[in-house]
Structure 1
Amino acid sequence: MAKTKSIGIRVTPEVNKEIERLKEAFGFGSFGEMLESFVRILQLVDQDIFRIESHPREWSKKDVQNYLSGGNSDWTDPRTGELGKLLWRRLRERFGQDGVERARELLEK
């Protein structure tokens, strides 16, 4: 049997409402199931970002599209871009602000 852990958290009514909305939208049976799925998505995002060996200064527009748009577009909500923000934050952590600026510059061309 898998080990389980209970966590107790207090959230504002607004956060609780958003959690319930996400549970319903994605068909999760429980908060734990939702949390587990989101953690897995974050792990996949991290894998993709940290697999990149070159610095954005060396990228072409096609590289940016492959690294940040192609495989990761499935994880980004087109309406809110919420997970897209995570990708950019992870990119900044890995390559610094100049890397983010270079990637944005290439995407805008």
Structure 2
Amino acid sequence: MTAPVLVPRNSPAGVVATWAFGAVVAIAIGLFVPIGDRFGWLAVGAGASLLVGFALDLRLGRPDGFIFRVAASTVGAVAVMGLISVTFALAAIAPA
């Protein structure tokens, strides 16, 4: 009798790492990029988050749920970047 092959659980580490990457990119953009150029750089950061999420999920080597994991990684990173950029925008218009 052979033992059944156990399928590893879905690890959220790749998703969370992509979200953290998005947060770091958004904070760097908010600190180092002039206000007028931030929107374009946020698009570049979102594209970089897509590539990071893609690479981290490819590292797992499991085809089941790949599209869902990449989508969750990317959408979450873009949402985190959006929240951080709104925070920087509100800080920019607040009186000193």
Same fold (TM over 0.5): no
Higher relative contact order (CA 8 A, sep 6+): 2
TM-score by length of structure 2 reads 0.44
TM-score by length of structure 1 reads 0.40
